[in-house]
Chain A
Amino acid sequence: MRNGVKRIAFSAVSLALAIAISYFESYIPMFVPGAKPGLSNIIILLVLYIATWKEALFVVLGKVFIVSLLRGNMFDVIFFMSLTGSFLSYIVMVLSKVFLKKLTPVGVSLLGAYFHTLGQVMALSIYMASIEMFFYFPLLSLFALATGVLTGLVAQRIVEMNIFSLNS
């Protein structure tokens, strides 16, 4: 199979998985109000490490748009929070993977999770025109760090298993 076809197939399957995980994880009860486990970040990390930043961007943006469409909140505040958080997280993960070579997928994941929360709070602050939204940032970010480590460990384990190869 040609490499390009493999990449497209890998991106499409990854997007489908990210959407499914993102949609169903909202039904997992959380003890921190407004927090989510961010399990779909495992898929984004895998795409980032196995494919390239382009495929990862496709999965990130595709996930945001399609999950919003499924939940019926397209272009409302929740959509913009999701978009800002996901995009900021993606940028930070790509930059940290490129420039902070000593970080493993665990470190990249926790940075991504932290900045995802920051992006969401920033979007909400702009939308509500109030800096008070940052009141929730410390608790949400501490929770994000914990889930970021967990998702990073899972992603690292899968990357190390070397079961996906796009170059052969």
Chain B
Amino acid sequence: MKKFLRSHLFDGIALIALALTSVAILLGLLFSRTSSNHLIATIYFKNEVVETVDLSKESEEERHLEVKGAHSEVIIAIKRNYIGIEENDCPSKTCIHMSPLAKSGVIVCAYQMIRISVGESFSDVEVL
């Protein structure tokens, strides 16, 4: 065991340095996330704004928005302070697993070229 640790000392240093970098970025992002009562979601397709939704003004009842993606339609579920991708026929379904957002953040589907950005205000969304 001692021999193993000694032979991997520099690997360990590299591992700790990289892990700390990631943890620092993660903590920075987590502390910068907001969950205020005024969340704005902006839906982009190919970097162009398709729709902007004030999530704080949505009703408690879920509604669905169909957005044209690069390959097919993407169905987005929206309700008060909540947005997420409900249906997407991309192979990986990564965006569905990333969903939903109830705080500031971003959902991306690279396959469909769709991005949903959530911020506290309209200016936040633009700045992010």
Contacts and interface: CB of A to CB of B under 8 A. Distances in A.
A142 B47 contact: no
Contact of A128 (B11, B29, B94, B113): B113
A101 to B, nearest CB: 9
A106 B11 CA distance: 6
Given A34-B92, A132-B115, A107 B11 contact: yes
Contact of A129 (B47, B95, B97): B47
Interface residues of A, number: 36
Interface in B75-128: 91-92, 94-95, 97-98, 105-106, 108, 110-111, 113, 115, 117, 128
A149 B15 contact: yes
Given A78-B111, A127-B110, A138-B26, A33 B15 contact: no
B115 to A, nearest CB: 6
Nearest to B18: A114
Contacts of B111: 76-78
Given A111-B14, A128-B47, A138-B25, A104 B8 contact: yes
A110 interface: yes
Given A34-B92, A104-B7, A132-B106, A142 B22 contact: yes
Which among B7, B11, B21, B23 has the greatest number of chain A C-beta atoms within 10 A?
Answer: B11
Interface in A91-134: 100, 102-104, 106-107, 110-111, 114, 124, 127-134
A53 B106 CA distance: 38
Interface in A123-168: 124, 127-139, 141-142, 145, 149, 152
Contact of A104 (B11, B97, B113, B117): B11
**What's the dominant secondary structure at chain B's contact region?**
helix
A107 B10 contact: yes
A136 B29 CA distance: 10
Interface residues of B, number: 32
Interface string A19-52: 0000000100000011000000000000000000
A107 B7 CA distance: 11
A33 B94 contact: yes
A103 B15 CA distance: 11
B23 A138 contact: yes
A18 interface: no
Contacts of B23: 138, 142
B19 interface: yes
A80 B110 CA distance: 11
B128 A132 contact: yes
Contacts of A114: 18
Given A100-B10, A152-B11, 6 more contacts: A33-B94, A77-B111, A102-B9, A114-B18, A138-B22, A138-B26
